[in-house]
Amino acid sequence: MRDKSLQDRNLPDQERAAMPSVTEVEPQRNLFDRNPHLDTSKARPLAPIGVFDSGAGGLTILSTLRQELPQEDYIYFGDTVHCPYGKRTEADITALTVDACRLLVEQGVKLIVIACNTASQAALQTVRATFSLPIVGVVPAVKPAARMTKNGRIGIAATDQAARSVYLQQLIADFASDIQAYAAGCSELVTLVERGDLAGPAVELTLRMVLAPLTDHDIDVLVLGCTHFPAMRSAIEHVVGEHVQVIDSAAAIARRTRNILLTESALHPSQGQNQQGGLQVWCSGNAEHFSAVASAILGYPVAASQKMQ
């Protein structure tokens, strides 16, 4: 079995909590209808966690967050109208990310997870300077990949924008300078996930073509540098073969979120009890289609609502 331990740049390992089974989406709670003018300078234990992505990819982060912090309430927003972000300019991505975070802040969230590698790389500093609440970004798992490789060659699958970013090149320089690291833009995979195409012969054919610039270098670790890609992990693992370890940063982000809430004394008071928190899923585009895609990724029924920024 492949090692699927997930880390980010500077976080200690920690056991992941088991995910309680969820058979249906809970009714919407009044706690989500919050005064947009509430003070966000101090995280509040009963407030929800906001999770944002350009579309459906951040649902892979949401799934891991609900395993690590099952008692928390969540609001998820996928900006499907403007997806994919990976083909947009950095200025566009930053503006869209600020707007999305403002939408979540207006709902009174206590912390925001930007569950999008492209948005994190382009806009995290701006968003943190704009809002006072804790904001967690996503970092491609370059550091753990460099530690895992046996043959000194790793591949990083990302969106087009993220693959050529200065940020990713700096990560490689910081943590993988003594090995060969190859990055490739794979934005076609974002489109597949947004359509709900997660497996099957046609998907695997696309994967073979898109990942060829990485697999042709005989890599033995593949970093999924876009949160959309873990939604098709099984197909990716089948395509790259058992000799390639496939990793992402979802568990590290969940641990980081827990650590911040613990430091802020903002964990939900029911932590440790057998209770599943509430979930609202929003998107800026077609809610019916997004509901189907979200249900497929999360593994339980989701009824998304359209919410414009």
* Cα(205)–Cα(271) distance, integer angstroms: 44
In angstroms, what CA-CA distances link 18 with 71, 188, 272?
A: 12, 32, 11
**Residue 16 pLDDT:** 33
pLDDT over threshold 90, residue 6: no
- Does residue 33 carry a pLDDT above 50? no
What would the two tokens of residue 245 be?
């370890």
Q: How much is the pLDDT for 270? A: 84
283 catalytic, yes or no? no
pLDDT > 90? residue 20: no
Q: For 203, left (φ over 0), alpha (ψ -120 to 50), or beta?
A: alpha
Q: What is the fold, at CATH topology level, of the domain defined by 142-247?
A: Rossmann fold (3.40.50)
Render pLDDT for 44-66 as a digit per residue (tens, 0 to 9).
899 999 999 999 999 999 999 99
Catalytic residue of the set 101, 186, 226, 283 = 226
pLDDT digits (tens, 9 = 90+) for 136-162: 999 999 999 999 999 999 999 999 988
Alpha-carbon distance 183 to 21, whole Å? 36
- pLDDT for residue 120: 95
Question: What is the topology classification, in CATH, of domain 46-138+250-306?
Answer: Rossmann fold (3.40.50)
- Of 101, 116, 186, 283, the active-site residue reads 116
User: Which pLDDT value is given to residue 189?
Assistant: 96
Residue 307, pLDDT score: 84
- Give the model confidence (pLDDT) of 175-215 as tens digits: 999 999 999 999 999 999 999 999 999 999 999 999 999 99
Widest CA span in the chain: 54
Burial 182-217 (b: 16+ CB within 10 A, else e): bbbbbbebbebbbebbbbeeebeebbeebbebbbee
pLDDT for 39 beyond 60: no
Contacts of 201 (CB under 8 A, 6+ apart): none
The pLDDT assigned to 42 comes to: 57
Q: How far apart are CA 208 and CA 128, in angstroms?
A: 38
The gap from C-alpha 267 to its chain's centroid, in whole angstroms, comes to: 20
Q: Is 116 a catalytic residue?
A: yes
Q: In whole angstroms, what is the distance from residue 52 CA to residue 136 CA?
A: 10
Task: Please report the sign of the dihedral spanned by the C-alpha atoms of residue 234, residue 277, residue 294, residue 40.
Answer: negative
Q: What is the mean pLDDT of residues 87-106?
A: 95
| Per-residue tokens: 259 | 């650590």
From residue 67, give the alpha-carbon distance in Å to each of 32, 86, 94, 234, 271: 21, 28, 29, 19, 12
Helices (H), 106-229: 117-130, 142-148, 160-163, 166-175, 187-195, 201-215
DSSP 116-127: -HHHHHHHHHHH
Q: What stretches of 216-304 adopt beta strand conformation (E)?
A: 221-224, 245-247, 279-283
pLDDT in tens, 127-138: 999 999 999 999
Q: Is 190 helix (H, G, I), strand (E, B) or coil?
A: helix
Q: Where are the domains of the chain?
A: 46-138+250-306, 142-247
